[in-house]
Amino acid sequence: MEKIFKIRENGSTVKTEILAGISTFMTMAYIIALNPNLLTGFATGTPLWNAVFMATLISSAIGTFVMAFAANKPFVMAPGMGLNSFFAVVVANIAAVTGLSLEKKSARPAAADMTDAPTASGSASASEADEKPVRPVKKAAAGKSAGKGAKKPVSGKKSAGKTAPAKPKKKGTAGKAAK
């Protein structure tokens, strides 16, 4: 260790460096558990929590070894809790407000809102929906119908070629047809 780290040249001993390393680890060990808790909403034991836990350990080890062997500095590196807090609070709340999710199903509009042609079973399959761009249908404002020219699917489902004309609106409230 003397050849690699030049401990005596820097005015220290092996014992001092080992004690310093242990105390630094104990000071920063809370990050190992807090980081995955903060980023997963305290969902301990889930695959996402386990992945963030391992990523925290691995990134801390890599950063610390780079500082030790490449820079020859006694610094411990770990994920910064300030940026993690920013991400968890600000970015996650923006995602929640806009309806984004980690789950693939909830990230897309519902099948009734898609304009892609239905399959033989009456709804677009997951592979077809992934291949085609999702174009949500324009929805009429609350309390207003889609207009005289709009057609509604029979029985509330998209059926191949079976549509009925929409109910006529009252005079004086002209609307645009949904496309």
| H/E segment holding residue 52 | helix 47-69
Distance CA 129, CA 105 (A): 11
pLDDT tens across the length of the chain (179 residues): 778 888 888 899 989 999 999 999 998 888 988 899 988 888 989 999 999 999 999 999 999 999 999 998 889 998 888 888 888 888 878 888 888 876 665 445 555 545 554 444 444 444 444 555 555 555 555 555 555 555 555 555 554 555 555 566 666 555 555 54
- Are 35 and 56 a contacting pair, CB within 8 Å? yes
Contacts of 95 (CB under 8 A, 6+ apart): 101
Distance CA 97, CA 93 (A): 6
